[in-house]
Amino acid sequence: MTYDKLMLFVVKPQKLTRNVVTCDEAGAFGFQLHRRFEELDIKNYVVQPQDWDERGKGGKNDRLDEAALCQRLDRYERGNKKAFSTVRIPTVYEERQRAMSRQRQQLMCER
């Protein structure tokens, strides 16, 4: 799904209800999506990445991860705060500093 299609997909239900809740895993692409959702007044949780295969079936694909994440989000919103672990969202400045530090480390390793 492209970024634009995702925004339409998330904003469309907002016309029907003010209580739109989303979540996504923390990753290498930063927290721009979370900040955009906040601007649109959408509650978003950024969760700690993990292996979502609870039953050890060995299946690993995005569809299974998405289903598990949605189930956990539902439990989290109903009060089970142990359904997943949220991460602290750094400020834009902190994120920039972290990116510079990581880039410096990569350059040193390549050198």
Domain boundaries, the chain: 20-110
Give the pLDDT of residue 55. 63
Query: What number is the average pLDDT over the span 36-47?
Result: 92
Quickly count: other Cβ atoms within 10 Å of residue 20's Cβ. Answer: 18
The DSSP secondary-structure symbol of 91 reads P
The DSSP secondary-structure symbol of 46 reads E
Q: Look over the chain and give the mean of its residue pLDDT values, rounded to a whole number.
A: 86
Determine the distance from the C-alpha atom of residue 48 to the mean position of all C-alpha atoms in its chain, rounded to a whole number.
8
Split at pLDDT 50, 70, 90, the class of 54 is: low
Residue 62 pLDDT greater than 80, yes or no: no
